[in-house]
Amino acid sequence: MTPPEFISRVIRVYREAKRPRFPHPRVRRGRAASVAPALEELVAYWLAVNLPRDTQIWVDQPVRFPGVNRIAWYFDIAIVRNGAIRAILDIKADIGWMRDEFIDICRRHRKRMQMIRGCVGEIRDRLQGSHRAVRVSNRCCHHIVIISGENISANQREVALRRAKSCEPELHVYVLSEGTHPNDVAKGLSGIRVNRDAFDLLLKRLAR
């Protein structure tokens, strides 16, 4: 799946969210359904077809770290290789609604990453009905993946991304597309600029 193909699937996700999942002539949806779960699974699928075959990809998997957090943390996506969490991904459709608090979110994620690197957590395998331990790599990083850089002014976006750089190297931010928001596309990829460099850099870092 190429970056343009990925963005095309994102557009389809938004369109399908505007229609009832179980259509009927007398059923009409007002507000669109949440696209968050579908975007998480789409990113996971794109990673699965592009990362090494020994990589496991966990979606919305709760992980509890005894002595660190009292309740489980839910990671949008966790990249697991050789029994260790190598990377954690946070998937955002855009950052328009969090423009004023984005840097605080980045700082919280960086602090959490500093706390859990090298720690052993516990997950519940719902398919197996059992619990098992999982280690967080000492080199694990948090990656915030923003599907669209729109729904926010260009100046606000640049300020938010520049401030987020202060959270490196524990945290990195990627904007996969700019121009028209996928939710507003009328046909094809009209008006969307696909940021191939962001796709490539994300894959390069996750493949380490």
Per-residue pLDDT of the chain (208 residues; tens, 9 = 90+): 899 999 999 999 999 999 999 999 999 889 999 999 999 999 999 999 999 999 999 999 899 998 888 788 999 999 999 989 999 999 999 998 887 899 999 999 999 999 999 999 998 777 677 788 999 999 999 999 999 999 988 899 999 999 999 999 999 999 999 999 999 987 788 899 999 999 999 999 999 8
H, E, C per residue of the chain: CCHHHHHHHHHHHHHHHCCCCCCCCCCCCCCCCCCHHHHHHHHHHHHHHHCCCCEEEEEEEEEECCCCCCCCEEEEEEEEECCEEEEEEEEECCCHHHCCCHHHHHHHHHHHHHHHCCCEEEEEECCCCEEEEEEEEEEEEEEEEECCCCCCCHHHHHHHHHHHHHHCCCEEEEECEEECCHHHCCCCCCCEEECHHHHHHHHHHHCC
Write phi, then psi, for 178 (nearest 5 degrees).
-140, 180
Residue-range domain boundaries for the chain:
3-206
d(CA 49, CA 105): 29
What pLDDT is recorded for position 69?
A: 80
Bridging pattern class, strands 130-146 and 84-92: parallel
pTM (predicted TM-score): 0.92
CB 176 within 8 A of CB 207: no
d(CA 136, CA 118): 5
